[in-house]
Amino acid sequence: MTTIAYLGPPGTFSEEAAIVYGGQNAECLPLSSMPAVVTAIETGVATVGVLPIENILEGSVTTTLDLLTHETNLRICGETVVPIRFYLVSRAELALPQFKVLYAHPQALGQCRRFVERCLPGVETLASLSNSAAPAEALASEQPAAAISTFRAAELTGAQILAYDIQDSSNNVTRFIALGREDCSPTGDDKTSFCFSFHADQAGTLVGALEELAKEGINMTKLESRPSKDVLGEYIFWADINGHREDVHVARAFAKIATKTDSFKVNGSYPRYIKPANGAVNE
């Protein structure tokens, strides 16, 4: 049986991503941190793991990028996209004007700013470790408290749902990656993630490396930088492209890029996520 590690506890969007990616026959293993998910795969406790890498509103999840760049040689072997719907929840006897405290994971709070500013002005916000912890903390609070929660977390804790779809955008989604010891064989519709850096701080070095993609007709879908963590002002660039590392033209471009960079690392090739034809993010 496949065991899929994810950032727990149960009731989080990470659990939903694990279920969507692994299917009904997979065993889902909640862990306490993103580094723990990586370690579980490396040590054989889990077969694969899912980690959030990008949200449509908040951008990249830098913890995931840094883990893949600096701390592990695991490969990205898949991706899925999960719709993000948030709910305002509380104890059954409370109503909106009574709240003094709002519990929320920082990412959730950032994605629900409009609702919080308009409907909960002056309410103190307290950071929770997860979208599952927030409703539990609100229910246990001695003060009149609410929480930003997932639907499943509200079900698991028995919290009352007071408002639904409180996220700033109805199109809010998070992209999750699957990590394993190996990436996937070519499917004909793949993506590849890689990172690279330069020691020399000179004009044109980045363009000089990336032009090899253009020469081969390779579409780059993402580019961003992260601190190298070694030297102030030195950065590691992270890129996603369409294509598989084993494709002849991709391999040719990568070989040339490697000669123009100080470090070059392929983080994995994997099937590109395709939005279902019915328009839903997930079936």
CB 283 within 8 A of CB 87: no
Give the ranges where the chain is alpha helix by DSSP (H).
13-22, 34-42, 62-66, 106-111, 113-119, 133-140, 151-157, 205-215, 248-260
**Residue 264 annotated as catalytic:** no
| Nearest alpha-carbon partner for 193 in 282, 260, 264, 281 | 264
Residue 245 CB: number of other CB atoms within 10 A? Answer: 19
Residue 91 CA to its chain's centroid (Å):
30
**Residue 157 annotated as catalytic:** no
Angle CA(1)–CA(64)–CA(235) in degrees, nearest 5?
145
One of 174, 192, 198, 254 is an active-site residue; which one? 174
**In residues, how long is the chain?**
283
One of 86, 176, 198, 254 is an active-site residue; which one? 176
The answer to whether the peptide bond before residue 9 is cis (omega within 30 degrees of 0) is yes
Distance CA 255, CA 212 (A): 9
Distance CA 196, CA 97 (A): 52
Distance CA 103, CA 193 (A): 35
Residue 208 CB: number of other CB atoms within 10 A? Answer: 15
Residue 217 CB: number of other CB atoms within 10 A? Answer: 10
Distance CA 77, CA 187 (A): 12
Active site residues: 174, 176
